[in-house]
Amino acid sequence: MNNDDYHSLGNSLQESGRFDEAVIAYQNAIAQNPNFSWSYHGLGDVLQKLEQWEEAVAAYRKAVELNPNFSWSYHNLGDVLLKLEQWEEAAVAYRCEIELNPDFCWSFCNLGDALTKLKQWNEAINAYFKAILIDRDLPGIYEKLGYVLRQTESDLNSVFQQCQLQITPENREFYLGLGRSLAQGDRLESAIIFFKLLLTNEPSCDIASAQLGEFLQEQEKCVSALASSRECVAQKPDDCWSYYNLGAVLSHQKKWDEAATSFLKAIAINPDFYWWFYYNLWEVLVKQNKLEEVATLYRKVVEAQPEAFWPYLNLGEALTRQGKIAEAICCYQTVSYQQTLGAILSKNTAKMPVLQDIVKVPNFIIIGSQRCGTTSLYTYLAQHPQILTPIKKEMDFFSWHFHRGIDWYLAHFPPMPAGEQFLTGEASPSYFDSLEAPERLYSAFPEAKLIVLLRNPVDRAISQFYRLTDLNWEVRSFDRAISDEIERLNQNPAYIIGEEPGNYLARGRYIEFMKNWLAFFPKEQLLILKSEDFYAGAAATVKQVLEFLDLPEYQLPEYQNANPGSYQPISDSVRCWLRDYFTPYNKELEQYLGRKLDW
């Protein structure tokens, strides 16, 4: 067979899905004629399908070397480089393709993806806009462009002008949605600029005019909130919460430097507080490179107060976010030893215990869901004579912090006293709705017993919203937050829940997460409780949990709600809408579990 025969055979084998044989055919063709670019391109295609990325890159590079005028080789090379996370080289490949074929929307879209990874926000915006001008219905482009627009700190007015927006009646709805996306991402000033630009191009657009009016009113509220927070600091200059709330308002308005200064002041006023929990504070401190200042402050505190508890955890948080995991582990182990010793003595142990170096792995984990009573249940279980708790209730390891490593996770758990039988466990409600958590947890602790509390998702959503509002993590109205989430879910039905606030609807679609957990853990290892039953009879529910954990019954003097929420009732119309939204998910969950939930 000659070169043409082998090349044709490779094409035929690739079309029929016989990829391994196609590789051999293309290689034979290349051996016959090492200067035929099409054989290298075909070899790259089949290696890409076999996910042999490095080999595919080599084939495509040879193809473009031999024929630098064929755009598809550049495009496919860019795709493989994206897979290998070689962002800069991928961008170069897509730019070469665009020079040859400037009318292919995916070239610009994929270039935008590479530039986004490189955090070259303005260039990514420009690439995505050019993709839209070619095909405004390109899948996923709206979400991608909205994301990069929210990241850039540049003057978006000049960015938009550079992109030369072409607004027509056909694409008007896209641009209106894009402007709303900016406001949803805490880019209110950018959204106002965007809508003013829309009206400059199309002054008769009533929808844009009305939306601009709403945003201007919201901007006035932001100005008022900031003025009120500053006044509170002036009146209470020694109150850590005055500074925390000011920092939260400033961070919502992306005034990062001032926000970091306010948060640092809050910590300095009250270092003996569980600041590790306030993720918004840490995000700003990371963004403004203030972690070393926090670590220095807490090193001084723990040096002066070696018996301190929260300062060690806060120092551990600062070190963790600096990537100094080994140092953070030392902090956690120090305070874990102190806590465990005190806890054992308080549980009426007759003699001073000898703590082993071996740390107990979790026997049970309360996996969720948020605002369903997990804090109260954990608090009640912690008082049982045979349960020792870790230094944090929530570690969010298997959901958000898995990259920190198992040693970081286990450092939070108590060392076990010699000759004693204790159980330990944590409660991270972020696990339940995490796609990755079930497999990760099963791989680490396949024998762990799991407890899940499920609440009427309507009540859960409302409770979560007001809880985040109290923490100053949520600044929108409830109606606005729900409408924003609906729009986001419509754009991306497979949206993955992350650490950011919100997800009031997505977190209440329990059936999706329950199937995921039961795909890994057998039913007998999963105790599913109704929050309403728990609230109505805490003692009975705790008894059920202790039986599940094979622990003797233990009655508490009282069962006080450990994390209550109070808020004004929402309107009947909104409640009815929420009930209708969750009804199909609730019915499917009842059928799947074989039990009535009466929600």
The CATH code of the domain that includes 582 is 3.40.50.300
Q: What sign results for the dihedral spanned by CA atoms 306, 309, 310, 312?
A: positive
| pLDDT (0 to 100) of residue 164 | 59
Q: Alpha carbon of 412 to those of 181, 210, 265, 324: distances in Å?
A: 39, 52, 28, 16
Closest CA to 40 of 65, 75, 5, 14: 65
| pLDDT (0 to 100) of residue 351 | 62
Of 297-306, 339-348, 500-509, where does mean pLDDT reach its minimum?
A: 339-348
Per DSSP, helices labelled H in 36-184 are: 37-49, 53-66, 71-83, 87-100, 105-117, 121-134, 141-151, 156-163, 172-184
| pLDDT (0 to 100) of residue 354 | 65
Closest CA to 302 of 327, 323, 279, 280: 327
| pLDDT (0 to 100) of residue 349 | 55
Across the chain, mean pLDDT equals 88
* Cβ(588)–Cβ(508) below 8 Å: no
Tell me the range of 14-18, 89-93, 212-216 where mean pLDDT is highest. 89-93
pLDDT at 153 over 60: yes
pLDDT at 594 over 90: yes
Query: Is 275 domain-assigned?
Result: no
Taking residues 369-396, what's their average pLDDT?
94
Of 21-30, 366-375, 448-457, where does mean pLDDT reach its minimum?
A: 21-30
Query: In which band, very low, low, confident or very high, does the pLDDT at 443 lie, cut at 50, 70 and 90?
Result: very high
| pLDDT (0 to 100) of residue 17 | 86
Residue percentage of the chain with pLDDT more than 90: 57
| Same domain assignment for residues 188 and 335 | no
The DSSP secondary structure of 295-313, one letter per residue, reads HHHHHHHHHH-TT-SHHHH
The string of pLDDT tens digits covering residues 21-36 is: 988 888 988 888 889 8
Query: Is 552 domain-assigned?
Result: yes
| pLDDT (0 to 100) of residue 100 | 92
The string of pLDDT tens digits covering residues 95-116 is: 999 999 999 989 999 999 999 9
Query: Is 474 domain-assigned?
Result: yes
Query: Is 277 domain-assigned?
Result: no
How many angstroms from the chain centroid is the CA of residue 478? 21
Higher pLDDT, 590 or 206: 590
pTM of structure: 0.70
pLDDT at 499 over 80: no
What proportions of the chain, in percent to the nearest 5, are helix, strand and coil? 65, 5, 30
Q: Alpha carbon of 341 to those of 2, 240, 385, 556: distances in Å?
A: 80, 31, 14, 22
Taking residues 170-178, what's their average pLDDT?
70
Q: Which two tokens mark 420?
A: 């004693």
| pLDDT (0 to 100) of residue 173 | 72
Strands 355-359 and 415-417: antiparallel
| pLDDT (0 to 100) of residue 357 | 62
Residue 534 CB burial class (10 angstroms; 0-12, 13-18, ≥19): buried
Q: How many domains are there within the chain?
A: 2
Residue 183 CB partners (closer than 8 Å, separation 6+): 191, 215, 218
Taking residues 519-529, what's their average pLDDT?
97
Of 157, 172, 207, which residue is a domain's last?
A: 207
Instruction: Read off the DSSP letter of residue 54.
Output: H
Q: CATH number of the domain at 11, please.
A: 1.25.40.10
Between the CA atoms of 131, 133, 138 and 140, what dihedral angle is there, to the nearest 10 degrees? Answer: 60
Q: Which two tokens mark 104?
A: 């292919």
Closest CA to 164 of 129, 193, 194: 129
Query: Is 528 domain-assigned?
Result: yes
Of 10-19, 26-35, 159-168, where does mean pLDDT reach its minimum?
A: 159-168
Query: Is 228 domain-assigned?
Result: no
| Same domain assignment for residues 529 and 400 | yes
Query: Is 583 domain-assigned?
Result: yes
Residue 109 CB burial class (10 angstroms; 0-12, 13-18, ≥19): buried
pLDDT at 327 over 80: yes
Of 153, 175, 207, which residue is a domain's last?
A: 207
Closest CA to 83 of 121, 51, 44: 51
Taking residues 166-183, what's their average pLDDT?
69
Domain containing 154: what range?
Answer: 3-207
For residues 162 and 146, give the distance between their C-alpha atoms in angstroms, rounded to a whole number: 17
Query: Is 495 domain-assigned?
Result: yes
Of 180, 207, 234, which residue is a domain's last?
A: 207
The string of pLDDT tens digits covering residues 136-152 is: 677 777 668 777 876 77
Taking residues 531-559, what's their average pLDDT?
94
